[in-house]
Structure 1
Amino acid sequence: MEVKASMAGSVWKVLVNTGDSVQEGDDVIILESMKMEIPIAAESSGVVKEVKVNEGDFVNEDDVLVVLE
């Protein structure tokens, strides 16, 4: 399962690492857009297979941020 950006913005904080278990609804990334912090949550439970972004990266809407298995 892929966790995607809901809007364009900068990656302010990465809250998970490869191998972490997450539950549906857990925040995995915090984006910053227009001086607001927008939490991005996992839509299903799983284990983090890959974090595709780093803090400070700019992302567009629908970019893949985290891959869960």
Structure 2
Amino acid sequence: MAIIDIKTEITGNVWKIVAEVGQAIEEDDPILILESMKMEIPVTAPEGGKLVAILTAEGDTVTEGTVVARIEA
């Protein structure tokens, strides 16, 4: 089993967390939604697995490259 970090691609605010720890995740499933410049940008899983950690909270500000979640593939 490998742990895979899920990183943001842009700077923004965590608008909504849509997945839960322990949930089975498929490739491209949304984990959370960022708000940046009045746009909603989903942060998705790069591959399938089990979501083992969410490392941010709704309302947090994140920068490009921030690890926001981890999945076990």
Same fold judged by TM-score > 0.5? yes
Ranges of 4+ aligned residues in structure 1 off by more than 2 Å = none
For residues 40 and 51 of structure 1, the distance between their equivalents in structure 2, rounded to whole angstroms, comes to 12
Deviations 1:8-63 (A, max 9, x none): 00000101111011000101110000010001110000101100010000000000
Bigger Rg over Cα: 2
1:7 is aligned to 2:10:
yes
User: What one-letter code is carried by the residue in structure 1 that aligns with 2:30?
Assistant: D
Per the alignment, in what secondary structure is the counterpart of residue 48 of structure 1? strand
**What is the percentage of aligned positions where both structures have the same residue?**
39
Match of residue 25 from structure 1:
28
Q: What is the CA–CA distance in structure 2 between the aligned matches of 1:2 and 1:16, rounded to whole Å?
A: 15
Tell me whether 1:34 sits opposite 2:42 in the alignment.
no
Q: Identify unmatched segments of 5+ residues in structure 1.
A: none
Aligned residues: 69
Supply the RMSD in Å over aligned alpha carbons: 0.5
